[in-house]
A and B are shown apart, each in its own frame.
Chain A
Amino acid sequence: MSSYLSMRQLNALWVLGWALVRHIITYPFVGRRVPGPWLKRIAAESLGAVPKDAWGMFACTSGCLTCGLCDVVGTATDRPSQWLAGIARHPGDSSLALAQLQRLEILAPEIERLCPARLKVSTVVALVRANHGMLAVR
C-alpha cells in the first residue's frame, strides 16, 4: 500500500512539475490564462463595482443583527425588521425597501430607542434615499 501511495505522489509531483515548467516557458508568450468565455457568460449576473461613497452606507447599515426586536414598534402590519434586514444585507435591493422608507422614517426614533445594535435608522433611511439611484445601477 505504501509503495502504491508513493507512486501516486510521484505521479502528482511529475504532473505539477511539468505544468510549472510549461507555465514558465510559455508565460512570456501567452500571458496569464483566465477562463475568458466563462467570465463573459457571468458578466451580466455579477454585481457592479461598489461606488466609493457607498462604503459609508454599508458601514452604517451592516450593524443590524436581525434580532427582530424592532417588530414591536408601529402597528402589527409593519415589518421593520424585514425592511431593515433587506437594506442591511443587500443595499442593491434597496428598491424593495424604498416604498417603506417613509414609514421607516416615522418609526425610526422608536426603533433606535430599543435596537440592541444601535442602528441609526434615520441615517440609514437618509442614505438609502440619497443613494438609491447609485445603488440600483449595476
Chain B
Amino acid sequence: MFDVVIVGGGLSGTIAALAARKQGAKVALAARSWGATALSTGALDIAYTPALSRAHQLPRTLAEHVLDIIAHRRRHPYAVLGLERTVSGLLDGFDLLREALGPYDLAPPPLNLEAANLSLASSLGGVLPAASALAPHVGLEFGVPVAGKIGVLSIDGLMAFDAQRIATAISADTKNFDVPTPEFELLRVALGFVAPPLQLARTLDDQVRADELHAQLRGRTQGLKALLTPPVLGFARAHHVRTRLQESLGIPVVESLAHLPSVPGARLQTALTASQAQAGVTQLGEVIGSKASAGKLCSLTLAGGQEIQAGAFVLASGRFIAGGVGWQAQHCREALFDLPVASEEGPLEADGPDAVTRVSPMESHPLMTAGVVVNPVLQPLAEGRVAYPNLFAAGMVIGGFASRYSLCADGVALATGLLAGRAAVNKAGETP
C-alpha cells in the first residue's frame, strides 16, 4: 500500500513523485515507456506568447507572458490554476527540477520570472525562445549583443547539424532583435565515422574518442569568445566531455538545442528516471487497469497482473506520444480511466471528421490541445463532476493548451506536477 501512485515517468510525473516524497509520502511511479520528455530539445519552455497579446506593448518578461496566457486562454492550465498558484507552482517546481538534475550536471540556472525569454541556438537553424535550458545549452544568448567571434563546430558525418546553415540562420534571426549580427567561424573536424546523434554522443563518452576531438580543435579557437557545438558531446559522461573541452580550449562550450533524435531529451529522461530511484520512489511497470470502490479509486493493475493500492493517484501519462490520450471506439478519450477529453474550444466529441478537421492549415487543430479537463485543484472532471476525489492530473494529459502555440509545456509540467503531487499527499492523508 502506497500513499501516492503516479502514472507516467516524464517531467510532470517525476516532479509529482519528488514533490510527494518531499512531504514524506510513500510513493510509487508506474511508467511504460519513454514519452515526449525524451524528445525534448533541451530547452525549458515556461511561456512565450507574442501572438496572443492584444496589448499595445508585447509581453517581455516571463511573468508578462504567463499573465498573457491567463488573460487569453481560459482553458489553459495556468488560467485554471490562477496566477498565484501558477507562479508558486512554477517557482517551486523549477527548484525541484534543479535539485533533481543537479547530480547529473544538467541543472538549469535558477528561474527568474522577471527576465525575458532567452534566444538560444537551435540545430534546425536560427534561434528559439526559451525560458531556460538544461545546463549544456545555456551560455550563448543571441537576443543580446554578442561581443567577439563564435566558433561553430562542424563534425563530418553528422548530418543532423549543418554548421554553415546554423550560422547563417542565427545571423538572420538576430536582425529581428535589433542587435549586431554576431561573427561566426566554422571549425570542421572529422572523427572518421558516421553515426546518428545518440551513437555519436555515446561514442564521445569514450575518453579516447573525446581526446581525438580535443586534439583536432586545439590551437584553432584562439580569439573566439565561445564554441557552439551540436548537442552530441557525450551521453552518460556528457558533463565530463564538455567540461574537459572547455578547460582544454579555455572558452565556454555550449551545445545547441536539439531536434530528433534528441540527445538532450534522452539525457533528461535518463536523469529523471535516476532521480526517482535516488529519491526513494518505487518504480513500477505499465498500468493497464484500475479499480474503484464507493466512487474512489482504490488500486491500479499492472501489466503483470499485480494490484497496486494507494490513497491517492496522479495521472501524468502525457498525450498521444506517451499514450495518455488516444482513440477508443472512434472517440478521443483519456486512455487509462476512459475520461472525456476537451480541446481549447471545449469538449471534444468527435463522431466524424468535421470536429477534427480545419479548412485552413493555419488554424489551430483541436487535437493539438486535447486532454482531460481539470478543476483548480487538478482533479480530472467527467461530465462536469470530479471523476475520482483521489485522482489528480499533471502535465500534458491536461487539455486546453498546445505547447507549440504558447511554448509552455515544461512550465505546465512543473507547476501541475508539483501541485498535483502535493494535493495527492494531502488527499492520501485524509483517507481512513
Chain A residues proximal to chain B, CB less than 8 Å? 66-69, 71-72, 76-77, 79, 81-82, 112-116, 118
Contacts and interface: CB of A to CB of B under 8 A. Distances in A.
Given A113-B33, A116-B35, A67 B270 contact: no
A88 B28 CA distance: 35
B198 A68 contact: yes
A69 B35 contact: no
B33 A116 contact: yes
Contacts of B35: 116
Nearest to A76: B202
Given A67-B39, A68-B260, A71-B261, A79 B196 contact: yes
Nearest to B320: A116
15 contacts: A66-B260, A66-B261, A67-B38, A67-B39, A68-B196, A68-B260, A71-B199, A72-B202, A72-B270, A76-B203, A82-B196, A114-B33, A116-B38, A116-B39, A118-B33
Contacts of B195: 79
B205 A76 contact: yes
Interface of B: 32-36, 38-39, 195-199, 202-203, 205-206, 235, 260-262, 265-266, 270, 321-323
Nearest to B160: A68
A115 B321 CA distance: 10
A71 B202 contact: yes
Contacts of B203: 76
A138 B238 CA distance: 47
Given A68-B260, A69-B266, A72-B270, A114 B198 contact: no
Given A67-B262, A69-B39, A112-B33, 15 more contacts: A67-B39, A67-B260, A68-B197, A69-B265, A69-B266, A71-B261, A72-B202, A72-B270, A76-B203, A79-B196, A81-B196, A114-B38, A116-B322, A118-B32, A118-B323
A119 to B, nearest CB: 10
A116 B203 CA distance: 23
Contacts of A81: 196, 198, 261
A83 to B, nearest CB: 11
Q: Name the residue among A112, A113, A116 with the largest chain B CB count within 10 angstroms.
A: A116
Contacts of B321: 116
A116 B34 contact: yes
Contacts of A115: 33-34
Contacts of A118: 32-33, 323
A74 B136 CA distance: 25
A78 to B, nearest CB: 8
Contact of A67 (B32, B202, B261): B261
B364 to A, nearest CB: 23
Nearest to B235: A72
Contacts of B322: 116
Contacts of A77: 199
The 8 closest A-B pairs by CB, nearest first: A68-B261, A71-B198, A76-B202, A114-B34, A76-B203, A71-B199, A72-B266, A116-B34
- Residue with the highest number of chain A CB atoms closer than 10 Å, among B36, B203, B266, B270: B266
A72 to B, nearest CB: 5
Contacts of A113: 33
A69 B196 contact: no
B203 to A, nearest CB: 5
A76 B33 contact: no
Contacts of A116: 33-36, 38-39, 321-322
A71 B235 CA distance: 11
A132 B262 CA distance: 32
A72 B196 CA distance: 11
Nearest to B273: A114
B194 to A, nearest CB: 10
A69 B203 CA distance: 15
Contacts of B270: 72
Contact of B38 (A66, A69, A76, A79): A69
A68 B201 CA distance: 12
Contacts of A67: 38-39, 260-262
Contact of B261 (A69, A76, A112, A114): A69
A77 B209 CA distance: 13
Nearest to B200: A76
Contacts of B235: 72
